[in-house]
Chains A and B, each alone.
Chain A
Amino acid sequence: MAPQRETILRVENIAKYFPITRGIVFQTKIGEVKAVDGVSFDLAKGETVGVVGESGCGKSTLARLIMRLEHPTRGQVFYQDRDIFAMPGSALRRLRRNIQMVMQDPYTSLNPRMTVGDIIGEPFEIHRDVAPRGDRRRKVQELLDYVGLNPEHISRYPHQFSGGQRQRIGIARALALRPKIIVCDEPVSALDVSIQAQVINLLERLQNELGLAYIFIAHDLSVVRHISDRVAVMYLGKVVEIGTEDEIYGRPTHPYTQALLSAVPVPDPTARAHRDVIRLEGDVPSPANPPSGCRFRTRCWKAKPICTEQEPPLTAQQADPHLSACHFAELRHVVA
Chain B
Amino acid sequence: MSSPEESTTLAKPRSLAADAWYDLRRSPIFWIASIIVVALVGIAAFPGLFTSADPKACSLDFRFAGPGPEAPFGYDVQGCNVYARTMYGARSSIEVGLFATLMAGTIAFALGMAAGFYGRWIDTLLSRSLDVIASIPLLLAAIVLLKRLSATGGSTGVWSVAFTLGVLGWPVAARVVRSSVISAKQQDYVQAARMLGAGNGRIMLRHILPNAMAPAIVVLTIMLGTVIATEATLSFLGIGLQPPAISWGGSINDNSAYVRTAAGPLLWPAGFLAVTVLAFIMLGDAIRDAFDPRMR
On A, residues with C-beta under 8 Å from B are 24-25, 67, 69, 92-93, 96-97, 100-101, 103-105, 108-115, 122-123, 126-127, 145, 148-151, 153, 155-157, 159-162, 164-165, 170, 173, 177, 198, 201-202
Contact = CB atoms under 8 A, between A and B. Distances in A.
B56 interface: no
A156 B13 contact: yes
12 contacts: A69-B195, A96-B195, A111-B210, A126-B197, A127-B196, A148-B5, A150-B6, A157-B14, A159-B9, A160-B14, A161-B7, A162-B5
B151 interface: no
A118 to B, nearest CB: 8
Contacts of B63: none
B124 interface: yes
Contacts of A101: 192, 195
A148 B13 contact: no
B5 A127 contact: no
Given A114-B206, A160-B13, A173-B192, A108 B187 contact: yes
B99 to A, nearest CB: 29
Interface string B5-19: 111111001111100
Contacts of B197: 92-93, 96-97, 126-127
A68 to B, nearest CB: 8
Contacts of A96: 195-197
A169 to B, nearest CB: 11
Contacts of B210: 111, 113
B196 A157 contact: no
Nearest to B4: A150
A99 to B, nearest CB: 8
Given A92-B197, A108-B188, A160 B7 contact: yes
A284 to B, nearest CB: 24
Contacts of A115: 13, 15
Nearest to B1: A148
Interface in B39-61: none
A72 B209 CA distance: 30
Q: Which 6 A-B pairs have the closest CB atoms?
A: A96-B197, A109-B188, A150-B4, A148-B2, A111-B189, A113-B210
A157 B13 contact: yes
Contacts of A156: 7, 13
B290 to A, nearest CB: 15
B7 A162 contact: yes
Contacts of B207: 111
B188 A103 contact: yes
B152 interface: no
A123 B17 CA distance: 25
